[in-house]
Amino acid sequence: MSALAGIWYDGRGSRRVPARVSLPQAGVLRVEPNHGDPFEVDIASVSISPRLGTTPRVLDLGSAGQVECADGPEFDAWFPRQGRIQVAADWLERRKSTVLGAALATIVIVVLFFEFGLPWIAGRIAERIPPVAERAIGAQTMALLDRTALKPSGLPGERQKALQARFRALVAGLPDVEDMRLEMRDAPGIGPNAFALPGGEIVMTDQLVAMAGSDDELMAVLAHEAGHHVHRHALRMAIENGGVAAMAGFLFGDVSGTGTLAVSIPVLLLNNGYSRTHEREADQFAIDLLRKRGLSPRLLANMLRRLVKIHGENNASMSYLSTHPPTEERIEAAERAAAAK
């Protein structure tokens, strides 16, 4: 009968008592303290700590205290069910190739999550944001932009009304069209730009109106921004950049997190730009909408060329002049669509 030397703690104090532990018969664990009477416990009631390198194993004896022993092969024989799992784990932990493989797998999983998982989650959450919460985010965002970056439009009232009428005709029949509205603002610090806010507001700057060669070209840009609204790209982008907690609050009826997103959305729109997927979705939406309205997708390509000429390819302050994907690639896609009538 094999036995292991260990230290017994009776569970009533901190006194260490040297002891021997053995298995005199199946199902019975015997503990023989150097000072005190030996006792036996049902081995089925004993739990053993996991194997971890060369650290001692701890046998929890319940009301009889616990015994701490150096690790040994006896434990695998005495506790076969736990032993198989622990032996396998110990075998894996001791092999560098396994550790490196696990580290590589972790990196791959993390990358895949941020590349595919997080955008998918953000899209599902954005679809479930209550309209009242989305409008609240948009209103707070607009108020913040009006205080910090935008001024009232300098365009004549009749000119603004004409552009708004063209915009309403452009988006007629689209999903959530009742929420879409065009706002004009003077933005000398931003320049030619347009962006869609949560809740349906689409802002177009006086500088963009002045830059365009025609109102049809302006409609191409607004069709692109309508695509961002329909696909809820601003909300999805904010969620992907750290607004998950706030969005979870909306799902449970707490709209107190709207302020956080209202602050983050202008920064993301004007500094970071949309993702590759978002830009392509909005471009395709604009191409399809322009065709339905009897307008050429080449109008979008023309506006992108004008924007590149003014701002340069790497200017990140343009919500739709993004380097992801490169503007030239987007121009070519619009030209191909125009040629495929």
- Whether residue 44 lies inside any domain: the answer is yes
- Residue 122 placed within a domain: no
Give the CATH number, domain containing residue 54. Answer: 2.30.29.30
Q: Answer yes or no: do 268 and 195 share one domain.
A: yes
330: tokens are: 């987007």
Segments forming the whole domain that contains residue 300: 128-339
The CA distance from 127 to 247, in Å, is 11
Per residue of the chain (341 residues), give pLDDT as tens.
578 899 999 888 888 999 999 988 888 999 999 988 999 999 888 988 887 777 889 999 988 999 999 988 888 788 876 545 555 665 665 667 776 877 888 888 877 766 777 677 777 777 777 788 888 888 888 988 999 889 999 999 999 999 999 999 999 998 888 889 999 999 998 889 999 988 889 999 999 999 999 999 999 999 999 999 998 888 787 777 665 555 455 444 544 555 555 555 665 565 556 777 888 999 999 999 999 999 999 999 999 998 888 766 544 344 444 444 577 889 999 999 989 86
* Catalytic site residue from 134, 217, 225, 279: 225
Q: Is residue 327 a part of any domain in this protein?
A: yes
Residues 83 and 144 in one domain: no
DSSP E strands in the chain: the ranges are 3-9, 17-25, 28-33, 39-42, 47-48, 57-60, 66-69, 151-152, 181-186, 194-196, 201-205
Are 283 and 136 part of one and the same domain? yes
The verdict on 221 and 159 lying in the same domain is yes
Kindly state whether residues 57 and 168 are assigned to the same domain.
no
**212 & 294 share domain:** yes
Structural domain count, the chain: 2
- Can you give the C-alpha Rg of the chain in angstroms? 33
Q: 196 with 51, same domain?
A: no
Does the residue 100 lie in any domain? no
- What pLDDT score does 323 carry? 45
Tell whether 179 and 259 lie within a shared domain.
Answer: yes
Cβ 56 vs Cβ 71: under 8 Å: yes
> Which of 68, 91, 114 corresponds to the end of one domain?
91
Catalytic, 225? Answer yes
Last residue of a domain, one of 32, 62, 91: 91
Q: Which of 91, 112, 139 is the last residue of a domain?
A: 91
Token duo for residue 91? 């075998």
Residue 103 lies in a domain: no
Q: Is residue 335 part of a domain?
A: yes
Asked whether residue 39 is domain-assigned, the answer is yes
What pLDDT, on a 0 to 100 scale, did the predictor assign at position 341?
A: 63
Does the residue 288 lie in any domain?
A: yes
Beta strand pairing call for 28-33 and 39-42: antiparallel
Q: What is the pLDDT of residue 128?
A: 75
- What's the pTM? 0.62
Clarify whether residues 276 and 192 are in a common domain.
yes
Indicate whether 226 and 334 sit together in one domain: yes
Both 209 and 75 in one domain: the answer is no
User: Does 133 share its domain with 80?
Assistant: no
* Contact assessment for residue 327 and residue 308, using Cβ atoms and an 8 Å cutoff: yes
DSSP 268: I
